[in-house]
Amino acid sequence: MSANADFPLFQVNEDHEAIREAVRDVARDKIAPFAAAVDEESRYPQEAHDALVASDFFAPHIGEEYGGVGADALATCIVIEEVARVCASSSLIPAVNKLGTMPLILAGSEELKQRYLPPVAAGEATFSYGLSEREAGSDTAAMKCRATLDRSAGDDVWILNGQKSWITNAGVSEYYTVLAVTDPDGARGNNISAFVVERSDEGFSFGEKERKLGIKGSPTRELILENVRIPGDRIVGAPGEGLKIALRTLDHTRVTIGAQAVGIAQGALDHATAYVKERKQFGTRIADFQGIQFMLADMAMELEAARQLVYVAAAKSQRSDPDLPFFGAAAKCFASDVAMKVTTDAVQLLGGAGYTRDFPLERMMRDAKITQIYEGTNQVQRVVMARQLLKG
């Protein structure tokens, strides 16, 4: 689990800091003012969407050859972190665009990349990811969604039937990477393929929006596939490689969930620190009480440790280091646990005020919880890490 000898673990350079400053301005001026309403109304953060498109932070990971800005993995994490600092729902826009397109970037044909990446880079379309099912969450290889090859018309056509659950930004996104079993009799895990499904495909529809504890501005819905005919050139990678591609994708994108968790925690710490410096009890600022100071110190210490781990994992993602599976899982797991703890402590620091919607802390605490669950529960992350360690 050591660093590549030819590279530092990570290096935050002037370009990264310039990106941080720019996205922080956008988040403060164009996203934060709408965050409470987005949560209260459970509506898609269109204001954030438009601001991210206008500033080239909508899908910053897409390369210049496809019309994107070509931000590296660390820069992309900084974008997500800074947006999550004010609105976790909005930070899922660049995060899910990376999640949905990463299978194409890793394994798609050049034709697929040229067809689907430029519209996302230009902000004309969003891209979601369809892996989980009702009975195939952590056990992804148990999926029931099927894709059957039809050559009756001459050209290869895949017919998809089934459903996908818990799909972020479903109904908003134009494109979806969908995983389906293509060889029911094949070896478990080696019989799944990945496809690009378009929102306009006949037979493709969505379930009702889930009613969630947090990230209420990001619609979560089922994908419903009923005899959806997909041209053969929309398969991502070779038949049977889908699950391997999906798991490689998660190695990279778990890092971005770590970044989201860091951003949520930083926003909570910012608000809590400002509050305790103003709030007075017993004739003095509560920030002057040693017990409060210890809480703030622990929150900041754990948050900074999480940030450093996420940045290390981002650098490994950029280089595709062989130990990325361990570090991606560790970054997501540790940062999300820290986010849950920091946001809970931030609510505590505000006392009764923290429990009300007059302050954003209760929203941040609710939003933080999902980071321990999606893209693999933290229990699964520990399994991933342990397996990597046992491999040696």
- What separation in angstroms does the CA of 321 have from each of 3, 8, 42, 128, 324? 9, 12, 39, 25, 5
State both tokens at 292: 């409060």
Confirm if 189 and 247 have CB atoms less than 8 A apart. Answer: no
The question of whether 304 is a catalytic residue gets the answer no
Residues in the chain: 392
- What separation in angstroms does the CA of 72 have from each of 3, 59, 238, 251? 18, 11, 27, 15
Q: Indicate which residue of 82, 133, 222, 375 is catalytic.
A: 375
Strands (E), the chain: 127-130, 146-150, 157-168, 175-181, 192-198, 204-206, 220-231, 235-236, 280-281, 284-285
Classified as helix, coil or strand, 88 is helix
Considering all CA atoms of the chain, what is the largest pairwise distance in Å, rounded to the nearest integer?
83
Phi, psi angles (nearest 5°) of residue 290: -60, -35
Position 207: which residue type? G
Classified as helix, coil or strand, 356 is coil
Position 253: which residue type? T
Which residues are the active-site residues? 375
